[in-house]
Amino acid sequence: MSTADKHLSHYDPAGVPSGAGRRFAVIVSEWNHEITDALRRGARETLLRHGVSEADIIERLVPGSCELASGAQFMLERGGFDGAICLGSIVRGETPHFDYVCQGTAQGIMAVGLKFSVPVIFGVLTDDTMQQARDRSGGKHGNKGIDCAVAALKMAELKAKG
C-alpha cells in the first residue's frame, strides 16, 4: 500500500495495546534533522499517549541512517527494552549512493531485531525529494513516527503474549 493510500497518523487507538510498564529505545538519525526530529516527536508523543512513561523512552542520536542499526544494537545489548524504533530520512541524490544506503539500512535494522529477538521498527523514510519527506513527517500524509510507535507497541505485545 502506498503512502498515498494511507495517512500515516490515522489509526484506531482502541486497537493499540497499552505501553504501561514497557521500555523503548528510539534511535534517531541526525542527517536530515528537520525530518527526523519530526518523526521522533511523533513517535514519542504516541508512546506517551499509550501509557509508556517518559522515563521509559530512551532516545539516542546517530550520525546517519546507516548507523541506526548499530545504535539499536548498542541499546539492545544493555537489555531491558521491549522494542526499538529506528528513525531516519534518506533522500535520493544524483548518484546510486541512495540505493546502497537504503538497502544497507533496511537489512541492518532487520538483522538487529532478529539477533536480539526484540521488535526493531524500521522508521526510515526513503524519498525522492525533501518535499516527499516533509509530507511523511507531519505533512499531508501524516507522520511515519506515529505509525512506527503504534507498530512497536503492537509488536511488543505480540512478543509478550508469545
The catalytically annotated residue of 33, 50, 97, 141 is 97
Q: Which three cell numbers stand for residue 72?
A: 539499536
CA dihedral angle for residue 38, residue 125, residue 59, residue 81, rounded to 10 degrees: 140
SS3 120: strand
97 assigned to active site: yes
Taking phi over 0 as left and psi of -120 to 50 as alpha, with beta for the rest, 51 belongs to: left
Three-state DSSP class for 61? strand
User: How far apart are alpha carbons 11 and 4 in whole angstroms?
Assistant: 15
Give whole-number Cα distances, 63 to 11, 41, 78, 98, 138, in Å.
Answer: 31, 18, 20, 16, 22
Q: Which residues are catalytic?
A: 97
